[in-house]
Copies of this chain bind each other. A is one copy, B any other.
Amino acid sequence: MVKLKKVLKKENNNKAKEREKPLIIAGPCSVENYDIFEETVAFLKECGVEYIRGGIFKPRTSPYSFQGLREEGIEILKSIKIKYNIKIVSELLDLRDIESLIEIADIIQIGSRNMYNYPLLKEVGKAGKTILLKRGISATIEEWLSAAEYIALEGNSNIILCERGIRTFETYTRNTLDLNCVPVIKQKTNLKIIVDPSHGTGKRELINSMSLAAIASGADGIMVEVHPNPDKALSDGEQSVNFEEFKSIYKNIVNLYNYIGGMII
């Protein structure tokens, strides 16, 4: 492992941190409009979810796909955040949007397409916010940790890594969720790590199983896409679960997280 001063564990720092509860981030891929977002938040809040995801700047492969509500989305996030007293996780694409995102987000997400975007990393390294750093689609663990080091070097060590699947030859699933990295990260670094089974599989019928697997591998939590009507979602519907599915996944995760605690070395 390359020398990284900020993120790697000090030698004799191996005793497990006390485990609190899992970090569960849920919500739609994109904020689509006020009503759908509110309906989703209301449901998730009732489930017990504190952190709500919702993209307003969407990095889309095609310039012709829905690019997010942008400024309009900021307003929606702002009012729903107050009304429901929730914490917001949302992705920053363009460093010129950092001020407006900081205003409403409790966790700033750096998406997998931007893991090598060093100017963006440095900028969020100066922000006084927790950063959710997703793994690049073909980033090695070392490159990922180096990206975290870029952020940490600017003074911000509130970094949560998020494994979201890597690109391999297998095409049956959208990506290959690499859970090997979870115990590696827990053993070698000071960072938290959560897992995104939505992008990590691309198929909603695999999300319950892979969420459980993530927790069993030692992850600190999960991030999952939830939509009231996945088939109608403007982005990533095929990998979003509906309310009923999420309710059961949530219960499973919380239970397993508590059960598994003592088994993790």
Contacts and interface: CB of A to CB of B under 8 A. Distances in A.
A46 B137 CA distance: 42
Q: Count copies of this chain in the complex.
A: 4
Interface residues of A, number: 71
A143 B137 CA distance: 13
A39 interface: no
Nearest to A212: B216
A11 to B, nearest CB: 15
Contacts of A113: 116-118
A150 B60 CA distance: 10
Interface string A63-93: 1100000000000000000000000000001
Contact of A140 (B4, B64, B170, B216): B170
Interface string A169-191: 11111001111111110110000
A205 interface: yes
A265 B96 CA distance: 44
The 10 closest A-B pairs by CB, nearest first: A138-B138, A216-B216, A113-B116, A213-B217, A183-B209, A94-B119, A212-B216, A213-B213, A252-B263, A213-B216
Interface of A: 1-4, 59-64, 93-96, 113-114, 116-119, 137-138, 140-143, 146, 149-150, 153, 166-173, 176-184, 186-187, 200-201, 205-206, 208-210, 212-218, 252, 255-256, 259-260, 263-265
